[in-house]
Amino acid sequence: MAGAAGYPIHASASPADRVAPRHTVLVRVTHWITALCFFALLVTGFEIVISHPRFYWGETGNILTKPLFVLPIPSSRASVVTGYGYVMPDQNGWSRALHFQTAWLAVLTGSLYFVAGLTTGHFRKNLLPAKADLSWRALRGHLRFARPDETGAWSYNVVQRITYLLVIFVLFPLAVWTGLALSPAFVSAFPASVTLLGGQQSARTIHFFVSLALLLFVVVHVVMICIAGFWSRMRTMITGRAVARREQA
């Protein structure tokens, strides 16, 4: 197996520390902006959901409509009966404003990362898995929560590659699409954006599940960082450099 920068690693080799670039400035900057945006979207999104923790399918939905499902949490509005004897503080106003503003920042950041990833070949070189890695044996070998060796700081395994591609090309665009479908101004200009989703309430329901999938990704991502070595991985994403080992002649 090849090590950092293509240097082969042998068991009998005498290792020496070597510092070299791992992540570009663009990747690091967009990563941290996206992380901050996700945190803000998560908090404000929760505030929006608790104002009406009922989900529907179709174009319309209200307290007189039979829901598709109901979240077992209290609402922040007394008019939405949830079975609890109290209501939570209503923060729906500022949370909606901040949610949409942060969403646009995330879209601009993601668009910059996407364009740069295509033009620089980042997706092809660092994320697109090789055909040989798509076998079940190769996948199964990486489906375990184990601390990787030092070469893991220099490349993504096949499970990571597939997951990142799924997030970048499926979940993130779907979150943007369903989010825009909830904007009256956008829908008035592009009505097909919500029609293709089955209605505005359908878009809201899909947006909720996509958000849960992204939250699950972030949780697993953080857990794997802790397992692989929290400070070394954080240093790599902050400074762009990682310590690798290569053999000495």
pLDDT digits (tens, 9 = 90+) for 197-239: 999 999 999 999 999 999 999 999 998 888 878 888 888 888 8
Percent of the chain at pLDDT exceeding 90: 51
pLDDT for 29 equals 92
pLDDT for 59 equals 92
Average pLDDT over every residue of 152-174: 84
Structural contact between residues 127 and 156, judged by C-beta atoms closer than 8 angstroms: yes
pLDDT grade for 156, boundaries at 50, 70 and 90: confident
pLDDT grade for 52, boundaries at 50, 70 and 90: very high
Q: Which residue segments constitute the domains of the chain, with CATH numbers given?
A: 4-247 (1.20.950.20)
Average pLDDT over every residue of 52-60: 94
- In this predicted structure, the answer to whether residue 130 has a pLDDT above a threshold of 90 is no
The interaxial angle of helices 172-180 and 92-120, nearest 10 deg, is 140
Percent of the chain at pLDDT exceeding 70: 78
- Three-state secondary structure of the chain: CECHHHCECCCCCCEEEEEEECCCHHHHHHHHHHHHHHHHHHHHHHHHHCCCCEECCCCCCCCCCCCCEECCCCCCCCCCCCCCCCCCCCCHHHHHHHHHHHHHHHHHHHHHHHHHHHHHCHHHHHHCCCHHHHCHHHHHHHCCCCCCCHHHHCCCCHHHHHHHHHHHHHHHHHHHHHHHCCCHHHHHHCCHHHHCCCCHHHHHHHHHHHHHHHHHHHHHHHHHHHHHHHHHHHHHHHHCEEEEEEECC
Q: Which of 60-64, 134-138, 170-174 has the lowest mean pLDDT?
A: 134-138
β-pairing, 69-70 vs 241-247, is unpaired
Average pLDDT over every residue of 136-149: 58
pTM of the predicted structure, to 2 decimals:
0.80
Average pLDDT over every residue of 65-93: 89
pLDDT for 151 equals 52
Q: Which of 2-11, 38-47, 60-69 has the lowest mean pLDDT?
A: 2-11
- Considering the chain, what is the average pLDDT of its residues? 82
Average pLDDT over every residue of 28-56: 95
pLDDT in tens, 85-104: 888 888 888 999 999 999 99
- How far is the CA of 142 from the CAs of 6, 195, 220, in angstroms? 21, 40, 14
Which residue shows structure tokens 């060796």?
149
Cα separation of 99 and 209, whole Å? Answer: 17
pLDDT grade for 24, boundaries at 50, 70 and 90: confident
Structural contact between residues 58 and 201, judged by C-beta atoms closer than 8 angstroms: yes
